[in-house]
Amino acid sequence: MILAFQIGFLDISWKDVLDILLVTFLLAQVYKLMKGSVAIKVFVGFLSIYLIYLVVNALQMELLSTILGQFMGVGVLAVIILFQQEIRKFLLLVGRTNIFEEGNLIKNLRFWTQNGKTKRANITPIVEAVKSLAGSNTGALIVLSEDSPLKFYAESGDAMDSLLSKRLLLAIFNKYSPLHDGAVIVHKDRIVAARCILPVTERDVPAQYGLRHRAGLGMSENTETFIIVVSEETGQISAMQNGETMHNISAQELRRQINKYLNEPKELKKEKEKKEKEKEISSEVEVKEEVA
């Protein structure tokens, strides 16, 4: 074996380096694909347990490594069952994208290096378009995603990758446009796709909510996105985030809420998640106490 270098008692060969690089590339691709959806939290959790399992195994801690080993065995099955839809979409995506096709490898690499550099969304075209659509009772469903282009959901519609503009949004949602059905996904300053299918909420919602509102709410439960719905029936504007609906808001309020969503620092988001978890735990404890 040709040695590359040695770290303490570890002999690292070029094959190991290549192995590590490939695994890193694969994990980063999976992360990029799932970024912004709830699946990523399960993925990171599972990965952490797997890393602990590897360390525990290397340290030959028999009992813990047996328990974690059992968990990993069942866990893989549980993940496959829980995320069968996502896995299916992922495999379809992989099957359809040949990275060695002409220009594809370069495009992928460029996407990698430029991903963080895409300009932030200019919210004026969005607010102006929503105001116009509401004024003419034209139904619309717009998903704003700050973190990721939501490839899984974008795949269900027609890819666009166009610069965001008021006129383009109006053209898409025009009743006679072949693209008006479904949702538009906006990531940073680009319209990623139109005609996308979103997950519909399974919660009990007010009777006046039809499929458009249910899909918006479902999306907000499943992803860290901001969703705007314009009702075709009433022309009212609603916004959804984290499974909560802001019903019948003005264009001004919409602008304020989008700004809040785009400017919310990551730490604040994490703190909010922590508080929600604490709330969940305390309500579970309360229920248990009541039962006892």
When binding is defined by CB under 6 A, the residue of 231, 240, 255, 258 that contacts ligand ATP is 231
Q: Which DSSP symbol is given to 8? A: T
- Residue with smaller CB distance to ligand ATP, 147 or 232: 232
Cα–Cα distances in angstroms (integers) from residue 29 to residues 35, 107, 171, 187, 244, in the given order: 10, 14, 33, 18, 31
When binding is defined by CB under 6 A, the residue of 46, 131, 210, 264 that contacts ligand ATP is 210
Q: How far is the CB of 210 from ligand ATP (least distance, A)?
A: 2
Residue 113 CB burial class (10 angstroms; 0-12, 13-18, ≥19)? exposed
When binding is defined by CB under 6 A, the residue of 36, 125, 149, 182 that contacts ligand ATP is 182
Alpha carbons 172 and 169: distance in angstroms, whole number: 5
Q: Does 200 bind ligand ATP (CB under 6 A)?
A: yes
- Residue with smaller CB distance to ligand ATP, 234 or 263: 234
Residue 128 CB burial class (10 angstroms; 0-12, 13-18, ≥19)? middle
- Residue with smaller CB distance to ligand ATP, 65 or 220: 220
Q: Does 155 bind ligand ATP (CB under 6 A)?
A: no
- Residue with smaller CB distance to ligand ATP, 68 or 219: 219
Q: Does 235 bind ligand ATP (CB under 6 A)?
A: no
Nearest partner of 258 among 268, 267, 276, 246, judged by Cα: 246
Alpha carbons 188 and 229: distance in angstroms, whole number: 19
Q: Does 75 bind ligand ATP (CB under 6 A)?
A: no
The residue with its CB nearest to ligand ATP is 210
Binding site for ligand ATP (CB under 6 A): 139, 141, 181-183, 197-198, 200, 209-213, 215, 231-233
